[in-house]
Amino acid sequence: MNALFVFLIVMAGMGLSFEAGLLGPLGEQVGHLWATLSIFGVGAALLWLIRFFTPQTTLQGWQSVPKWQLTGGFLGPIYVVALTLSTPVLGVAMTMICVLLGQITKSFAIDYFGWFGMPRRATRPLRVVALGCIVLALLFTYLGAR
């Protein structure tokens, strides 16, 4: 396992918590859908600038891409709206633990069944224990907030 990638993803995860902390108050001030639009608008502008100042590559092959692979474009805004709505109610920690539980549970299923063209990976007992620890973290965080 490449430690650099582990570090980068941990940092990206921290960025998601930061984003959730920003989105909750922003959504309450300007509206939840406008907060989501602002996040995607700023992101699109940043990606456009990066694309503009990096070497050009061809966009060949878009017609041959299976359309189901573009569903991430629908899932992203749903995720951000859910963050915007739930973070002020649950808090950042509880929201992120819920996100983590959902991500890990679905990730295990994707790995196990080999969905979306991913290689199949066995769900070993230690992975199930890790999932149980996330469930316990959710439970303890929920009970600790009461």
Confidence of residue 129 (pLDDT cuts 50, 70, 90): very high
Is-contact 40 76, C-beta < 8 A?
yes
* Burial degree of 100 (CB within 10 A; 0-12, 13-18, 19+): middle
Where do the domains of the chain lie?
Answer: 7-54+69-89, 91-146
Report the half-sphere exposure of 129 (CA within 13 A, side-chain side).
3
Lowest-pLDDT range of 20-34, 54-68, 100-114, 128-142: 54-68
- CA pair distance 96, 134, nearest whole angstrom: 11
Helix (H) or strand (E) holding 107: helix 92-113
Sign (positive or negative) of CA dihedral 128, 134, 138, 139: positive
- Assess whether pLDDT exceeds 80 at residue 60: no
Which residue in 49, 19, 15 sits closest to 36, CA to CA?
19
Overall pTM > 0.75: yes
- Assess whether pLDDT exceeds 70 at residue 1: no
pLDDT averaged over the chain? 88
**Which amino acid is it at 61?**
G
Query: 3-class DSSP state for residue 66?
Result: coil
- CA pair distance 21, 3, nearest whole angstrom: 27
